[in-house]
Structure 1
Amino acid sequence: MMSEVPVFHSKYSYNHHDSKAQHLDIHEILVKKSRLGTFLFYFMVAVFLGTNVYFVTMKEVDISRSIWSILVCFVLAMFLHYNPVKKERVVIMPAFGVQLETHYWSGRIIRRFVPISKILSSMLNECVTPVTCYWSLALLLRDEGELMLVFQKLQPPLKMLVPVWKALRAAINGQETSIT
């Protein structure tokens, strides 16, 4: 059952599923795939390959140099274009704990479970780098005194992190997990 209107962003979308019958509160952030970006990526690769083939057939460029430039271009393009994460999900089970899931486009899923008794608090952190500034959501773990990032691979905006943070705080404090 969908309990909230999904929140959309240019790069991510947020969905909240609240199942009262199963006592689950599921928050997921999905990575959007841009069709225009994908088309432009493949178009530029085709133009680059066509240019290299033209120069090789016209004998203006050495073949070994052309092959190396094609390989370097493909590796660089794949590095810039490829994002293996499909979505990250937080499953809050107030009686048991929090399950953090990372879903990859390849089908692989990595799950991490944190018992509710080990969670001291959840916090929103502002992360500042020389290039950018973004928000992260972390769990402060009891006994270990360390932070565990909730969304480890993605950097969703603050408006998507706040409902998850509120639900985590409610579950940790033993309250209802409804979000206003």
Structure 2
Amino acid sequence: MTGERQSDVITQTRNGQVLSYVCEWMSDSEDEGLRTHRISVKTSERSLDVFMLVVMACFCASLAFFPSYNFGSSLIITMLGISLSMWAKRNRVEQEAVVVMPTLGIQLETVYCSKKVDRRFVALDKIVTPVISEAVTPVTSYFYLALILREENDLLLTFLHLRPSLNMILPVWRSIHEALGTKISSAESFIQKTS
């Protein structure tokens, strides 16, 4: 694609976690072509500081609680703490993306901090419609975007790990409707009134 590249950015803070929404599209016109919606978790330098604090705490605790053991035992306990914190960091989600390809389908991507990427492709003819719904738990409530698929009993969640705000979900929902060629005027006006 040799067309123009544009992007929109929205930022949200929830429970101390900063989410950044970036919509990028590359094509000759905004109405056609590939559209990528990315929701990223912004990490700070504090994560490295927290990691070092965990390592030092493991080392000091092993020396304090096991004074009769030698330095090697303390080192083993510290290494265990390091490996546990690295394992926890490796499984954290860094970014989720929905790539809308108008003639082909939708690709859902999850990028972990370990740079492992999970991708799932859904063909357009398999998608009935995208829906925005609200999940209510005893502690919180949040909106989510799901796809209703033909010949499947379950909904397919687009952002499985991150919980973006309604303002971040709406452009993705519109892009999927545009790719499917469905009208959204009445539903969109209802959502804009409630948000």
Superposed pair shares fold, TM > 0.5? yes
Aligned-CA RMSD value: 3.1
1:135 aligns with 2:143: yes
Asked if structure 2 preserves the Cα contact closer than 8 Å seen for 1:15 and 1:29, the reply is yes
Give 1:155-174 correspondences, 5 Å limit: 155-173=163-181
Q: Structure 1 segments of 4 or more deviating over 4 A?
A: 66-83
Letter in 1 for 2:139: V
Q: CA deviation at 1:70?
A: 6.5
Q: CA deviation at 1:16?
A: 0.8
Q: Distance in 1 between matches of 2:27 and 2:6?
A: 11
Q: Distance in 1 between matches of 2:180 and 2:133?
A: 18
In structure 1, runs of 5+ residues without a counterpart are: 176-180
Q: Distance in 2 between matches of 1:74 and 1:121?
A: 45
1:18 aligns with 2:22: no
- Percent of residue pairs bearing the same amino acid type: 35
Equivalent of 2:7, from 3, 13, 26?
A: 3
Which moved further from structure 2: 145-154 or 117-126?
145-154
Letter in 2 for 1:23: G
After TM superposition, the score normalised by the length of structure 2 is 0.71
Which moved further from structure 2: 142-151 or 45-54?
45-54
Partner of residue 119, structure 1 = 127
Partner of residue 32, structure 1 = 42
After TM superposition, the score normalised by the length of structure 1 is 0.76
Q: Distance in 2 between matches of 1:81 and 1:144?
A: 34
Give 1:144-155 correspondences, 5 Å limit: 144-155=152-163
Q: Which SS does the other structure have where 2:173 is aligned?
A: helix
